Chains A and B, each alone.
Chain A
Amino acid sequence: MSAPAPYVEVEGLRRLFDVSKPWLNRMIERQPKQWLKAVDGVAFTIERGETFALVGESGSGKSTVARMVVGLLPPSAGDVRITGVSMTDPAQNAARRRLRRRIQMVFQDPYASMNPRWRVGEIVAEPIRAFDLIRGEAAIADRVGELLTLVGLHPDDRVKYPHAFSGGQRQRIAIARALASEAEFLVGDEPTSALDVSVQAQILNLMRDLQDRLGLTYLFISHNLAVVRHMATRIGVMYLGRVVEIGGGRELFTHPKHPYTRMLLDAVPDIGLTGRQRTPVSGEIPNPIDPPPGCSFNPRCPFADDRCRAEVPALIDGVACHAYQEGRLT
């Protein structure tokens, strides 16, 4: 008997963005089209009920992956399958429509993620109406009140407008809206990055409580390593559009393998590490329009050799690094 298929399967995901100048400028300056490879060869799986996190700095492509997973952005190549249903195959349109309401997203900016002219009740009720889950105004109002209570707000809050709420409360409303369509898979794209730390703690705790109560599956996107460490069961580290290392939370943080993961863990300011001596980190992230050949981390990597400068390393046993495969890492 084979193991049950993972809840989410991502395979060979790639996304290019056209960053060319306008047609007229290109013709006059005789320049070719320019493509930004935001995501390339990304593959991972998420089991039902777990929290998988993608962590990376700006330009790593983690948010682009999130948008492709929920189907807001079509991939240039590769596929995302959720409960076996392809998010790209036109032949599975009908199945995908049924899956649609199971997949929701919580966005980064709680001030931009809800229509400022709608009352909270209407915002939370919109998915219920869109998927025709409940009929009758009274029943919908009851359900909205129930959802607001679930995320720690008061049912009477539904008559207020978003501007009456703080950032943290708005993020609670956003979570209520995501759950309104009876979602079972939530993608959080930096859901706490815009919040103050004490409020961040409230939202992270809420997300964990909801996961326990409702058996939710999370894809959690963040640049904050400590937050990811706190939330995720498994973690993928991204650098310039590729996953460089994937592993279980504790393993990855205690025994990082990829030189970039090591550097990142060493660099992050952390309150547990007052006044420590840090290994100096050098260099910055290269321009993603013109990435270095071979392993994209090679210009900053102390272990880089000629192979690293020529050949893109494949992800083997959770690490994409020639030096690691060759046993050159110390």
Chain B
Amino acid sequence: MSALAATPSRWARFLDSDVFASFRRSKLAMAALAVTVLFFALAIAAPWISPQNPYDPAELDLINSNLPPIWSAEGQAPFLIGTDDQGRDVLSAVFYGLRLSLVVGLLGVLVSGGLGLALGLIAGYFGGLVDTVIMRVADVQLTFPAILIALVVDGVAKAAAGGGLDTNATIGLIVVSIGLSFWVQYARTVRSSVMVEKNKDYVQAGRLIGLSSPVIMVRHVLPNVLGPVFVIATINLALAIITEATLSFLGTGLPETMPSLGTLIRTGNRFLFSGEWWIVAFPGLALAGLVLAINLLGDWLRDALNPKLQ
């Protein structure tokens, strides 16, 4: 179609949009995006750039245990930022830990976002009793701290499974816990946007041509309530990563044989007072950097998408 050429593509429209212009203006947003992309790249590339596979016991050697970073007198190549008590390279552990943290965080956001989006759409579109029930559950949910819900889900599941959960099941469990803890914010936001959108005439026009409610919801309402969901998802990604780290730190998360950043911080914590500071400091810095960058990105996105702040 030749006429298509006259209308800019989605990408060209994005480059010309106010959101992109605001991004170009904000140095902080650009820096945050760069750091976030860097962390994602490190996580994805972990198997190729790590000096060692920290999950493979065969590659660990106790002779190399508790080595300080390379710039101190006792530092040894290839352990750039030292090793832990198992002889595990801290840098490799951080790369692999990032990978786990991001996977759990992204899956958690996906589950909580999906759940919240679906419930918010249903509550907002149908209203009435359905709405009342969903939103009262949300209210009750909000009275419990997210971490408590995650601990309860975790505890119940472990008790039910008899304690013998493998790593993948543990990851699944953490993802579900995070999903159940964070869906409320999505549901509330989506519900209020839906209540605005569903009264707009384009929805009425859809009803006039006999479209069913699910079709109207998915085809017309959903695309128009996604903006705020992306903002929440970004900010929640940071929260989910922290929640995973907290669970792991508290010992209900990922095991020491397959450490996430939280697990690394927990194990490293034990060595803080015996002088092996690098075991806890570098995973901690990685976690803080990642969460800060994502949060700054989320803040910027929220401001950029909010026309009132322009």
Contacts and interface: CB of A to CB of B under 8 A. Distances in A.
Contact of A105 (B3, B200, B208, B211): B208
Nearest to A126: B209
Interface in A42-89: 70-72
Interface string A171-192: 0001001000100000000000
Given A113-B201, A113-B202, A114-B202, A181 B3 contact: no
B205 interface: yes
Contact of A101 (B209, B211, B220, B224): B209
Nearest to A180: B209
Contacts of A72: 204, 207-208
B160 interface: no
Interface in A108-133: 108-109, 112-117, 119, 126-127, 130-131
B3 A156 contact: yes
B210 interface: yes
Counting chain A CB atoms within 10 Å of each CB, which of B201, B204, B207, B208 scores highest?
Answer: B208
B7 A112 contact: no
A115 B224 contact: yes
Contacts of A216: none
A107 interface: yes
A107 B6 contact: no
A72 B202 CA distance: 13
A174 B202 CA distance: 10
A277 to B, nearest CB: 41
A159 B6 contact: yes
A107 B201 contact: yes
Contacts of A117: 223-224
Contacts of B224: 115-117
A115 B209 CA distance: 14
A114 B6 CA distance: 22
Given A109-B201, A115-B224, A117-B224, A130 B7 contact: no
A160 B201 CA distance: 20
Given A156-B3, A159-B3, A181 B209 contact: yes
Given A113-B201, A117-B223, A159-B1, A104 B6 contact: no
B77 interface: no
A177 B204 CA distance: 13
Given A72-B208, A100-B209, A130-B210, A159 B7 contact: yes
B223 A115 contact: yes
A100 B206 CA distance: 12
A238 interface: no
B210 A131 contact: yes
Given A131-B210, A159-B6, A114 B223 contact: no
A103 B208 contact: yes
B204 A107 contact: yes
Contacts of A135: none
Contacts of B202: 112-115
Contacts of B208: 70-72, 100, 103-105
Interface residues of A, number: 31
Contacts of A174: 205
Contacts of B7: 119, 159-161
Contacts of B209: 100-101, 104, 126-127, 130-131, 181
A158 B204 CA distance: 22
B4 interface: yes
A66 B204 CA distance: 13
A213 interface: no
A97 interface: yes
Contact of B205 (A108, A114, A158): A114
B205 A113 contact: yes
A130 B200 contact: no
Contacts of B201: 107-109, 112-113
Counting chain A CB atoms within 10 Å of each CB, which of B6, B7, B220 scores highest?
Answer: B7
Nearest to B226: A117
Contacts of A161: 7
A124 to B, nearest CB: 11
Nearest to B210: A100
A109 B200 CA distance: 9
A176 to B, nearest CB: 12
A48 to B, nearest CB: 20
Interface in B185-230: 200-202, 204-211, 220, 223-224
Please give me the 6 A-B residue pairs with the lowest Cβ-Cβ distance, nearest first. Answer: A107-B201, A113-B201, A112-B200, A156-B3, A130-B209, A127-B209
Given A107-B201, A130-B210, A156-B3, 12 more contacts: A104-B208, A105-B204, A112-B202, A113-B201, A114-B202, A115-B202, A126-B206, A126-B209, A127-B209, A158-B3, A159-B6, A159-B7
Interface of B: 1, 3-4, 6-7, 200-202, 204-211, 220, 223-224
Interface of A: 70-72, 97, 100-101, 103-105, 107-109, 112-117, 119, 126-127, 130-131, 156, 158-161, 174, 177, 181
25 contacts: A70-B208, A72-B207, A72-B208, A100-B210, A101-B209, A103-B208, A105-B208, A107-B201, A107-B204, A109-B201, A112-B200, A113-B205, A114-B205, A115-B223, A117-B223, A119-B7, A130-B211, A131-B209, A156-B3, A156-B6, A158-B3, A159-B7, A160-B7, A174-B205, A181-B209
